[in-house]
Structure 1
Amino acid sequence: MSTLTQTSTEHAAAAKNVALRRNRWASSRTYISAAIIVIWCLLPFYWMVVTAFRDVGYTFDPTPFFTHVTLDNFATAFSSEMGNHLDRALLNSLFISGVTTVVALLFGIFAAYALARLNFRGKFLVLGLILGASMFPGVAIVTPLFQLFTNINWVGTYQAMIIPNISFVLPLTVYTLTSFFREMPWELEEAARIDGCTAGQAFRKVIMPLAAPAVFTTAILAFIAAWNEYLIASILSNDATQTVTVAIASFAGSQPHQEPYTAVMAAGTVVTIPLVVLVLIFQRKIVSGLTAGAVK
């Protein structure tokens, strides 16, 4: 009897060791996979920052570290003498992206709430049209937009870039918020109505505070999408209204007929770092907004 007990104990211990080894291997594979993905995604950004601080004469130096460090590239990026108006382009992008985000949220919140909470004829058709608009290629409407805005003298104005940006960002806003409003329990709104709130008061005092994480996440996604837009801005902007994406593409270097790689990298660093810092600061709100409504 003792022999059988000892054998069963040994088998149980062996099975436990096998399970532990499997769990350790599974955890190791998870960490290795995550590390590979992180390195793959951050390596171009890291190389951009390294090149931004590198002397022009060592642009193609294969050393993957901060060698021959200089700040002249940032001065070149902001140099108006060379035609690089990065400071003005930053303000233009900030204004265009900010207005686009505010307008898209203003219309997107009400549209998403109506699609998620109200029953009306053609509801799914409207949602399908919105999703179809989000997949519509922007290059297909560049020529019509240019002709239209030329006829009304809008080329080179802010509204010529804000209105197309809204048309691209609004479907993203509506789709993201619709999925959140759809999972929000009706009981909260009904309780507010029973307590004497009108439909508008229930929406403003109950629904919107609960939807704040999703709205905040949607705002960041919409702002980044508008900030990174290049196609429309490259056609409809001029020297006074061009965005950072267009300004960087038209950079001039310190030497004629020479591509200013280091200045472009410096400008890319200036443009990218604020977005990265913004996401890192508000990452908890972003995660909570993306996962809001996932569990009823």
Structure 2
Amino acid sequence: MNDTAVLRQPFVLRFATVGFIVFWTILAAFPLLWITLMSFKLPIDAFASDPLRVIFGFTTLRERGGLSVTALVLGAFALWLAYHGAEHHGRRFARYLALGGREWLGWLLAALVYVIALILGLFWILPAIVRVVEAILSHIPVLDYLARPMMGLTMQNYRAVWIGYRFYDNFINSMIVTTGTVVISLTVGTLAGYGLARTRSNVAFWLLIAALIFRALPHSVLVTGYLPVFIHSREFLAPLWNWHATAWFFHLFSDQPPTLYGQPLAVIMVLVSINQPFTIWMLRSFFMNIPAELDEAARVDGCSHLGAFRRVIMPVMWPGVITTGLFSFLLAYNDYLVCSLLLDAQSQTMVPAITSFFNRETTTTDQVQAVAAAVSITAPLFLLVIVFQKQIVSGLTQGAVKG
């Protein structure tokens, strides 16, 4: 009992720690919450100097309608159910969908089902339930106030961005680039990280140092080298199409050399080359925490090196792979410089495409639509964190503690 009292933090220290965390959480979350409120308002409310007008949107409420207390409560409850379901039943559901024991496939299918169910629930099922509950409450004295709209809300900014300006094309391009980058980075990174973690050669150390130096270079320096190659790629590849020894092969695909500029697949290779050192370093640290005795036991049982890696090491490594994949996704998803310089307007991803809203005539309507586009790109990140939160925490702990 005395030992517990000695180890317990003083009240002042606990209060100061909690207060500091709460303060910085509010400070970090406030901009996102504020622009989210702005994105659902008419420009006159979104840019009002009175904070209450931004929050409640009086003009938006009068002209476009809004949400009642009932809708806000049911919406918050639906979001809590979505979070609770992913936290407590996500792993079990992923294992159920793991066809042939492939855990990665189970998690991929579980994430896809979760996203589809979330979209259907929030945009179709929840509004229908809200209308029914509001209709019931509207006939009950006093409680009818809970069914009356009290916070202005309009979806016109999101409709203008996603439908009017075809922002879904940029979303598809972002998914192609980020998915390709993550898949290739993890495929190469797991093999390279495993090999470097198990080797005792000094060459591995210098390879890791060289990779770290390459990753530390600013993107502007790397893109400067890639940009001329992308622009003049047709001239650089022409000898392969003209030389008789290789011409027959390349002419099977096209009659003339392709251009790399504006091609998402080419940008994927650039992002992989830039982010691969980080992926290898991170995965190597995870593999270092897995005892080499597991490899040796698998080899004694008759597994090959690749078989031991696939059947014994990778099941233990999944939290680390998911954590590394999330960071690789963020690096590719949030990239601005590479995508803006090496992709044309038709193949542009979401992050660089947002700047086009600010580059147009800066009316208040354009600015609110730009805010709506900025809020839109945060949704996939929240979904990833919600679905894979336990694996992320487990992976970070696995990488921080020496096994």
Q: Is 1:220 matched with 2:326?
A: yes
* Residue of structure 2 aligned with 1:71, choices 155, 163, 182: 155
Query: Of residues 177, 180, 184 in structure 2, which corresponds to 1:96?
Result: 177
Q: Percent identity?
A: 32
Q: Is 1:233–1:243's contact at 8 Å kept on the other side of the alignment?
A: yes
1:151 aligns with 2:256: no
- The residue identity in structure 2 corresponding to 1:89 is N
The match for 1:201 among 303, 307, 327 is: 307
1:139 aligns with 2:139: no
Displacement, 1:147?
A: 0.8
CA shift for structure 1 position 135: 0.8
Q: Residues 252 and 137 from structure 1, CA distance in 2 versus in 1: closer, same or farther, beyond 3 angstroms?
A: closer
- 1:209 Cα deviation after fit: 0.5
Alignment of 1:172-183 (within 5 A): 172-183=278-289
Q: Distance in 2 between matches of 1:124 and 1:247?
A: 40
CA contact (8 A) 1:53 1:66 kept: no
| Residues 146-155 or 101-110, more deviating | 146-155
For residues 124 and 269 of structure 1, what CA distance do their matches in structure 2 show? 42
Q: Secondary structure at the match of 2:172?
A: helix
Partner of 1:187: 293
Q: TM-score, normalised by structure 2?
A: 0.65
Gaps of 5+ in 1: 1-12
Partner of 1:6: none
2:279 aligned with 1:292: no
Question: How many angstroms apart in 1 are the aligned matches of 2:378 and 2:179?
Answer: 16
Whole-Å Cα distance in 2 between the matches of residues 94 and 233 of structure 1?
Answer: 13
Q: How does 1:222-261 map to 2 (within 5 A)?
A: 222-251=328-357, 256-258=361-363, 260-261=366-367
Q: Hey, which of these two has a bigger chunk of helix by percent?
A: 2
The one-letter code sitting in structure 2 at the alignment partner of 1:43 is F
Give the distance between the partners of 1:97 and 1:179, measured in 2 at CA: 23
Change (3 A) 1:216 1:20: closer
Measure how far apart 1:210 and its partner are. 0.4
Structure 2, unpaired ranges of 5+: 61-152, 234-258
Return the alpha-carbon distance in structure 2 between the equivalents of residues 21 and 112 of structure 1.
41
- In the TM superposition, residue 31 of structure 1 has moved relative to its aligned partner by 1.0
Match in the other structure for 2:117: none
Aligned to 1:10: none
Match of 2:239 in 1: none
CA distance in 1, matches of 2:380, 2:56: 21
TM superposition shift of 1:167: 1.5
How far does residue 201 in structure 1 lie from its aligned partner after superposition? 1.1
Which gives a bigger RCO, structure 1 or 2 (Cα 8 Å, sep 6+)? Answer: 1
* TM-score using structure 1 length: 0.87
Q: Distance in 2 between matches of 1:21 and 1:291?
A: 24
- From 191, 197, 217, the equivalent of 1:110 is 191
1:98 Cα deviation after fit: 0.2
Give the match for residue 270 of structure 2.
164
Letter aligned with residue 159 of structure 2: A
Deviates more, 1:139-148 or 1:170-179: 139-148
Tell me what 1:37 maps to. Answer: 24
Cα deviation, residue 59, structure 1: 2.8
Bigger mean CA offset, 256-265 vs 211-220 = 256-265
Quick one: which amino acid aligns to residue 229 of structure 2?
Answer: L
1:24 alignment partner in structure 2: 11
Q: Find the aligned partners of 1:89 and 1:284 in 2 and give their Cα distance.
A: 30
Name the counterpart of 2:127: none
Judge conservation of contact 1:116–1:182 (CA < 8 Å) in 2.
Answer: yes
Q: 1:295 to 1:144 in 2, by over 3 A?
A: closer
For residue 51 of structure 1, report the CA deviation from its aligned partner: 1.1
Task: Give me the CA root mean square deviation.
Answer: 2.2
User: Is the 8 Å Cα contact of residues 182 and 329 (structure 2) preserved in structure 1?
Assistant: yes
User: Per-residue displacement from partner, 1:246-287 (whole Å, max 9, x unpaired)?
Assistant: 21111279x955262211111111110221122022111101
Question: Partner amino acid for 2:269?
Answer: I
For 1:156, the aligned partner's letter is G
Please give the alpha-carbon distance, in whole angstroms, between the structure 1 residues aligned to 2:316 and 2:9. Answer: 42
User: Residue type matched to 1:77 in 2?
Assistant: V
1:149 Cα deviation from its structure 2 partner: 0.8
Partner of 2:209: 128
Residues 97-156 of structure 1, C-alpha deviations (whole Å, 9 max, x = no match): 000100011111111111111122411110001111111101113232111011112111
> Which residue in 2 is equivalent to 1:86?
167
Distance 1:123 1:167 in 2: 18
Equivalent pairs counted in the alignment come to 277
Aligned residue for 1:8? none
